[in-house]
Amino acid sequence: MMKYQLVAIGEAMAELRQDTKAGWSVGFAGDTFNTAVYSARALAPGAVAYVTRVGEDPLSEGFCQLAAEQGIVTDEIRADANRNIGLYSVKTDKDGERSFHYWRSASAARSMFAEAATTEIPAAKIVYYSAITLAILAPDARARLFARLEELKSDAGCLIAFDSNYRPKLWEDVATAQEITAQAWAMADIALPSIDDEMALFGDADEASVLARFAQKTWVAGALKRGPLGPVPLANPQLDVPAFEAAQRVVDTTAAGDSFNGAYLAAFLQEREELDCLKAGHDCAKMVVGHPGAIAPLDA
């Protein structure tokens, strides 16, 4: 029996955001956490859980409080007395594009799955993670995560969803990133790539090349995200998809892809038609980029 509808795995961090008028503010974000938030907003209470490690510091406590306020089950979050939550600062330019500085090299999340006994991932209809999740882990921890995902897939019937968020600075080298990401794509049932990440990591020349590569596998669901151009379906590439309207107001592009993933996966779990799933994801991303920070207000 599935304990949850969606389980997301990854790293959440404290976010320091500079405002030209109000100084610095503190929030919390992280790619898979952002996706969990936007899925939880569209699903019933108790449907979404997050798997990560945090510290026992005040910022870690603040994160857990925020997660609960956003409707995420926090029972699967473990506290590490010897480490703290990661930290990053973000600055946006006039077009909403952002630049980051990180303090995460010793974050508690990097110690996930360090021992076999710690690979505790509950069953869910969908288990979601990203290449950032993989990049922050030691090689043996990655192997344990992959083994547990295979077990959940084969024994419990979980669907595995993956996003290839490519952050070069997190990886040992490009070859390792390519190898590990390809392994994740081979296991995944639901594909949620972004065109920029795929082209940067695998050297695809254009959109057609990315789509041709993903067409070599049959997907349960998924979409190629193309920013303001809107998504292209991967499970049903012949679907007649109308043009998607770009956001009219762009304040901050942080979490645009993450929010698409969250709303898309929630719509899939609600058994909505593929076009509705694509539209739900795109509409959520349009809303999110109109607000500062990764987590838009609940009443947005």
Answer whether 88's CB lies under 8 Å from 103's CB: yes
Q: Nearest Cα to 72, choosing from 109, 33, 108?
A: 33
Return the structure tokens found at 16.
Answer: 């320091």
Count of C-beta atoms within a 10 Å radius of residue 128 = 28
The rounded distance, in Å, linking the Cα atoms of 69 and 127 is 21
Return the structure tokens found at 112.
Answer: 């996930």
- The domain limits of the chain are 4-288
pLDDT at 277 over 80: yes
**91 pLDDT tier (thresholds 50, 70, 90):** confident
- Residue 264 C-beta-side C-alpha neighbours within 13 Å: 33
Q: Which residues carry out catalysis?
A: 258
Give the pLDDT confidence score for residue 96 in this predicted structure. 58
Report pLDDT digits (tens) over 99-114.
788 899 889 999 999 9
β-strand partners of 98: 92
The rounded distance, in Å, linking the Cα atoms of 192 and 211 is 12
**20 pLDDT tier (thresholds 50, 70, 90):** low
Return the structure tokens found at 38.
Answer: 């936007």
Report pLDDT digits (tens) over 172-201.
999 999 999 999 999 999 999 999 999 999
Give the pLDDT confidence score for residue 90 in this predicted structure. 77
Beta carbons within 8 Å of 244's beta carbon, 6+ residues apart? 228, 229, 230, 231, 278, 279, 282
The C-alpha torsion from 157 through 161 and 167 to 168, rounded to 10°, is 60
Give the pLDDT confidence score for residue 2 in this predicted structure. 86
pLDDT at 150 over 80: yes
Give the pLDDT confidence score for residue 8 in this predicted structure. 98
Average pLDDT over residues 75-86: 95
The model carries a pTM of 0.95
Give the pLDDT confidence score for residue 119 in this predicted structure. 76
Average pLDDT over residues 159-166: 97
Mean of pLDDT over the chain: 93
CATH architecture of 4-288: 3-Layer(aba) Sandwich (3.40)
